[in-house]
Every structure is written in structure tokens, then in C-alpha cells.
Amino acid sequence: SLLDILVGLEKSVDQLNGLTRDAEIKEIGDGNLNFVYRVTWNAESPPSGLSHRRSVIVKHAPTYIRCLGPEYGLTQGRLKVEYDALCRFHSVAPGSCPQPYYFGRDSTIMIMEDLESFSVMRAEVVAGNVNATVVCSVAKLAATVHRTFHRDTLADDEWRQLCADFSNDDMVDITRQYLFVRPFDADDPTNKSPPVARA
């Protein structure tokens, strides 16, 4: 189970310090591809011994597209690419993304920082709450990432390695199929729109 895996990592992943089998695991994700869980537990703070709440986010990539089910297979390598991307983003712009703590190739889980106190920007924008400071921060991050990893910034061997590390044809094809092809095919079994939307 996921709890067994996490308890087994408690000594090797600093951010899981104090985690026991009393930890609470709650699924919180609504994404299309992966399962996302918040793991919370009470840990003692030395030397006072006082207990405090700790939490992390765990993302698991199944061997299929989560929202469609096991009959729609998908490589689990997508999670390693995401983990590596978060590591790169965190290295060039600390605080711009959840800090990645651990990736397990065999268990296909990623453990990362819990941003429970943050708001989801998409939800805020939909609600009409546009914060100019946040928009500027996003623009600054995009510029930083673009400048750091631009073709003209990197040496030839660095560029080739970057392309190799982040090559993900499966995800590119998934995006093409499920955003630009299948939604426009009324007979496609993955097109679950109500009849009125298909007309």
C-alpha cells in the first residue's frame, strides 16, 4: 500500500520524519492522468517534544489514464519527466513551484511540498480575482525559465542532453489526441459530452 511505501521511506526522506502508520492519506487530485494524495501526520519537534502537524503531497502515476480507466494505457515515465522538470524549475527559481523531495522509479510516486495554504490560480481567475502581483511573478518565472534553458544560452551538448531528458512523445500524442482530435469525433468512446454538446 501507499502507506507501507511511505513508512518505509521515513528514515531516508527528511520530509517524512516522524511519519507513522497513524498518518492520514486523503485523495485530493482531480487531474486526468495521475492520483494525488495529501499525507498528514503529527510529529514531535526535538528537543521540546511538542507535537506538530506535518504534511506532504504524493503523486502516483498509474499504468493508464486515470480519468478513462485501465483500458487506456499510458507510460509511467511521465512522472519522472515531471519530477525532473520540478527540480530544474526549483533550481533556477526557488519557490516558484512545489519543492520536489523524492521520486520512486519502482513505486512511480513523487513526494513534494504541500502548498495547502495557497490558492489555485485558475480558480481565482475564473472567480474574477486577478492579482497583478501574481501575474507579474508568473511572467518573471516564464522569462527566467526561457532565458536559462534557451537554445542560445546552452552549449550544444547541454542542449542535446536537455532535449533527450525531456523527450516525451507519449504525452505529446496524448495532448494531440485528447485535446485536438477526439473531442471533435462524436463517435469516439472517450468523448463523454452530453448529446446537446455534440450537436
3-state secondary structure the chain: CHHHHHHHHCCCCHHHCCCCCCCEEEECCCCCCCEEEEEEEEEEECCCCEEEEEEEEEEECCCEECCCEEEEECCCHHHHHHHHHHHHHHHHCCCCCCCEEEEECCCCEEEECCCCCCCCHHHHHHCCCCCHHHHHHHHHHHHHHHHHHCCCCCCHHHHHHHHHHCCCHHHHHHHHHHHHHHHHCCCCCCCCCCHHHHC
Region 160-172: mean pLDDT is 91
pTM value is 0.83
Mean pLDDT of 99-122: 92
Average pLDDT over residues 91-105: 93
* 124-158 per-position pLDDT tens digit: 999 999 889 999 999 999 999 999 999 999 999 99
